[in-house]
A = this chain, B = another copy of it.
Amino acid sequence: MATATGQGDIRDRLGIEHPIVGFTPSEHVAAAISRAGGLGVLGCVRFNDAEELDATLDWLDANTDGKPYGVDVVMPMNAPTEGSAIDLSTLIPQEHRDFVDRTLEELGVPALPGGVAEGAGVLGWLHSVARAQVDVALRHRPALIANALGSPPKDVIDEAHAAGVPVAALAGRVVHAQRQVDDGVDIVVAQGHEAGGHTGEITSMVLLPEVVDAVGDRALVLGAGGIGCGRQVAAALALGASGVWMGSAWLLAEEYGKGFPGSAAMQDALLHASSSDTVRSRIYSGKPARLLRSRWSEAWAAPDAPEPLPMPLQNLLVAEAHLRISAAEDPGVIAMPAGQIIGRFDRIRPVADMMADLVEETRTAIARLAAF
C-alpha cells in the first residue's frame, strides 16, 4: 500500500510496509502491529522503573521478527515542579483527596488488598523519569522516539538524532507543529479533537491539511484522531498525511488483554460504547484528554465535584484510583483514554486481522476514488 503525499514516504523513513503507526501501552499489541507491517509504538508512561522498561524492550527486540518498533515517552516541554512523589503530594488539597475517596466508595470500587507502592503509576509523568526512559530506549533498537505531549526537550531530540533515531511529536494546533519542526522534530502527529487522550479543539478534517501546509517538506505528517477503518486511512492520505497514527482501535485487540488487570472490563465497556460515549476532561492528567464516559467521569462532572488539578498533580491524585478501578473489573466504572472512533468496534480481534482489514479497506477506498 503506497502513501499519497509530496512529503516523502513514511514507510521508507520508518522501514515499514503499511503507513500505519499504532500507539499502545501493551508490548504484546505493539509487537503484533510491527509484525503485521505497521509500526507498533510502546507507550512508556506506565513504567516507573527503568529496569522494567529495559526488560520489556528486550522482549520487544525478541518478538517483532526483527521488524521496527517505536517508543513513546511523556515529556512535558516545560518541566513540572520536580521532586519525589511525596514532595508533590503535599500540594494536593484535602478536598480533592476526600472527593476521590468518597467517589470510589460510592461507585463500589474496593481498596487494593496489598496497598499501593509509593509513586505507582505516576512517576512516568515526571521529567527525570521520562529522560531516563529515553536513555534506556536508545540502548535498544527503536525506529522512533515519540512524545505524546508535544515537542520533546531539545537535548532529547539531539540525543535521539545522534543515535540515528527520528523523533515524533503530537500537535493539536498549527503553531505547535511549527514550533516542533523548528525544534528538529522529524514527524508531526497532527492529532484532532476526536482523538483519545490529550487532544485540542481542532478536528482532524481541519487540522491535518493545515499542519501539512504549515510544515511543508520539513517534516512528515501523520493523521491521528478518528482513524479506525480503511476509509479513514484513505481520508487522512487524501488530506495530505503520509500515514496515520492510531491509538484507541488497539484497545480492542485480542492481544491487549495479556498482562493488564482490568482489560476485560475495559474492553467490554468499549464494545458497548458509541461514538457519543466519550468526554474531554482534565480529570485523567490535568490537561484536557478524551476518555471513555463512565460513572467515574460522570462523578467528576457533577456540580459538587472539585475542579481537576494541574498536571502532574492530578495524575498523582488519581493514580491509586486508576489502579483500584482497573482491579475492580466493573465495565460501568472505567478510567481510560479513548477516542470517538470506539463506536466503530463491535468485537475483539487479533491485531493481524485488524491490520489486514485496514489495508484492504484502504485499497478499496482508494480504488473507488480512482475509478474515474
Interface residues of A (CB under 8 A from B): 2, 4-6, 173-174, 192-194, 201-207, 209-210, 225-227, 229, 231-232, 234-240, 274-276, 339-341, 343-344, 365-372
User: Residues of B contacting A238 with CB < 8 Å?
Assistant: 231, 234-235, 237-238, 365-366, 369
Please, could you name 6 A-B residue pairs with CB atoms under 8 Å apart, sorted by A?
Answer: A173-B276, A192-B205, A193-B194, A203-B225, A206-B341, A235-B235
The answer to whether A227 touches B205 (Cβ under 8 A) is yes
Question: In the complex, what's the smallest C-beta–C-beta distance from A339 to chain B, in angstroms?
Answer: 8
Closest B residue to A370 by beta carbon equals B370
CB-defined contacts of A274 to chain B, threshold 8 Å: 174
Set of chain B residues within 8 Å of A201, measured between Cβ atoms: 276, 340
User: Could you say which of A193, A203, A210, A239 has the most chain B C-beta atoms within 10 Å of its C-beta?
Assistant: A203
Of A231, A339, A341, most B-chain CB atoms within 10 Å: A231
Nearest-CB residue, chain B, relative to A227: B205
B202–A205 touching, CB < 8 Å: no
Contacts of A173 in B (CB 8 A): 275-276
Q: Decide: A204 near B202, CB < 8 A? Known: A173-B276, A275-B210, A371-B4.
A: no
How close is A372's CB to chain B, nearest CB, in angstroms? 4
Q: Which residues of B contact A239 (CB under 8 A)?
A: 231-232, 234-235
Q: Which partner residue on chain B sits nearest A204 by CB separation? A: B205
A276 nearest CB across to chain B (Å) = 6
Most buried by B among A192, A194, A235: A235
Q: Smallest CB–CB gap between A242 and chain B, Å? A: 12
